[in-house]
């Protein structure tokens, strides 16, 4: 749905291509013009029980370059002094998660007959109440995660620019405890997804969390009982933050032609590109410490000794290879290594056994640049702006 994603409508002068480039010659496009980031509010936390209050930072949908958005977001939760609302959100998440984890054990102990009855629209009142409580816990945790990492930008109401009296949240949640009960994820090994839509109120992303994940590349009604895995509640919570990062980038990244041209170096062809990997890794550094069960699940997914999820890199590399086989890579700027000047960079290494590993390194704004930087000559760097190639 790339072509349908939100775009920033502001433009500037056409970009001139420089002669002598080894890259393909693209048609001229208007330069993306991104608005400045607003200053986050510092007042006391809004009541969580009411989502009538606006975000702590009001971002504009479809308007920001990938690196400025990444830097802005990271600087507001990573290695910094937390705001009162963030401390409250973290404490709230931990309490909800601990309580829900106990209830999820009872759900896991339900008989197959009780689960099947619930999935078909029946089930006892006790089972229905349990499902409602677990879905409510996931939703409330999503609110806390949004307040902590994204300052409420996803779930607190945004004004509709075409109808100033209307507001809407940019994220909706569907789970296997509710509207998705009894269904199985269509894609093998993918227990969740974030899909952007446009409604009467504007753009929003639907996050879906299944309780059953297909183990077959193609799921259909003829698959047997052994064709899916049951997703533990703890893993659903880890998947939730993964999908929230997708939703955040879907909603706020600029999708004008100039930014789309650099997708290999931003959110990627699969949505799991470098910007996604960097932001999720920084989030994970904090998130994995909120409960031991979360840490165990996350550790199993990451490169050894890092908080970089190897799954994301594998998915993105597969998407790149598929695009290459179709002859579609020529429309994008080539992949390039991060400069040491970059605030958030990925460092890839090949291990002695031939396997790859990646790590994400964060440099505080204004700090010294590491010595002997292996600079990419095509970089144009601005710490308060984007890290772009001179197109």
Q: In 3D, which of 371, 363, 335, 370 has the Cα closest to residue 78?
A: 363
Residue-wise pLDDT tens digits, 55-79: 888 899 999 999 999 999 999 999 9
Residue 241 falls inside a structural domain: yes
- What's the confidence (pLDDT) of residue 381? 35
Residue 383 falls inside a structural domain: no
Residue-wise pLDDT tens digits, 214-266: 775 443 444 444 567 889 999 999 999 999 999 999 999 998 888 999 999 99
Give the highest mean pLDDT range of 18-32, 167-181, 185-199: 167-181
Distances (CA, A) of 12 to 7, 15, 30, 33, 170: 14, 9, 6, 6, 28
Tokens of 55: 């975000």
Q: Is 368 exposed, middle or buried (0-12, 13-18, 19+ CB in 10 A)?
A: exposed
CA gap 41, 38 in Å, rounded: 9
Contacts of 370 (CB under 8 A, 6+ apart): 340, 363
Q: Are 343 and 80 in contact (CB under 8 A)?
A: no
Residue 17 falls inside a structural domain: no
Residue 55 falls inside a structural domain: no
CB neighbourhood size of 166 (10 A): 14
Distances (CA, A) of 42 to 34, 57, 175, 306: 24, 10, 33, 32
Residue given tokens 């109808």 in the structure block: 163
Residue 385 falls inside a structural domain: no
Residue-wise pLDDT tens digits, 73-109: 999 999 999 999 999 999 999 999 999 999 999 999 9
Residues of the domain holding 304: 66-369
Residue 78 falls inside a structural domain: yes
Give the count of domains, the chain.
Answer: 1
Residue 362 falls inside a structural domain: yes
Average pLDDT, the chain: 82
Residue-wise pLDDT tens digits, 260-302: 999 999 999 999 999 999 999 999 999 999 999 999 999 998 9
- What's the confidence (pLDDT) of residue 89? 94
* Length reported for the chain: 391
In this prediction the pTM is 0.84
- What's the confidence (pLDDT) of residue 44? 67
Residue 147 falls inside a structural domain: yes
């Amino acid at each position: 749905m790339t072509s349908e994603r939100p775009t920033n409508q502001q433009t500037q002068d056409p970009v001139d291509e420089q002669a002598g480039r080894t890259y393909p010659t693209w048609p001229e496009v208007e330069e993306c013009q991104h608005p400045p980031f607003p200053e986050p509010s510092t007042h006391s936390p809004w009541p969580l029980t009411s989502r009538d209050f606006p975000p702590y930072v009001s971002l504009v949908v479809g308007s920001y370059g990938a690196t400025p958005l990444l830097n802005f977001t990271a600087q507001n939760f990573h290695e910094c002094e937390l705001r009162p609302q963030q401390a409250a959100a973290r404490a709230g998440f931990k309490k909800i998660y601990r309580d829900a984890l106990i209830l999820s054990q009872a759900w896991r102990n339900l008989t197959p007959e009780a689960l099947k009855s619930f999935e078909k629209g029946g089930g006892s009142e006790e089972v229905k109440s349990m499902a409602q409580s677990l879905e409510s816990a996931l939703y409330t945790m999503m609110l806390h995660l949004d307040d902590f990492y994204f300052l409420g930008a996803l779930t607190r109401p945004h004004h509709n620019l075409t109808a100033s009296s209307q507001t809407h949240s940019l994220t909706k949640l569907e789970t296997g405890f509710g509207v998705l009960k009894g269904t199985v994820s269509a894609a093998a090994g993918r227990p969740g997804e974030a899909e952007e839509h446009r409604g009467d109120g504007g753009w929003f992303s639907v996050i879906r969390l299944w309780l059953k994940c297909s183990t077959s590349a193609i799921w259909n009604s003829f698959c047997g009982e052994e064709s899916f895995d049951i997703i533990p509640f703890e893993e659903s919570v880890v998947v939730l933050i993964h999908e929230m990062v997708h939703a955040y980038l879907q909603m706020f990244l600029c999708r004008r032609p100039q930014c789309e041209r650099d997708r290999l170096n931003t959110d990627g062809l699969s949505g799991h590109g470098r910007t996604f990997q960097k932001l999720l890794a920084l989030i994970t550094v904090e998130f994995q410490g909120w409960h031991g069960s979360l840490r165990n699940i996350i550790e199993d997914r990451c490169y050894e000794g890092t908080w970089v999820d190897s799954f994301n890199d594998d998915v993105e590399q597969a998407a790149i290879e598929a695009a290459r086989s179709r002859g579609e890579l020529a429309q994008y700027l080539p992949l390039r290594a991060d400069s040491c000047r970059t605030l958030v960079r990925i460092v890839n290494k090949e291990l002695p056994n031939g396997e790859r590993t990646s790590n994400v390194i964060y440099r505080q704004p204004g700090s010294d640049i590491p010595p002997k930087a292996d600079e990419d000559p095509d970089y144009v760097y601005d710490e308060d702006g984007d890290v772009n190639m001179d197109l």
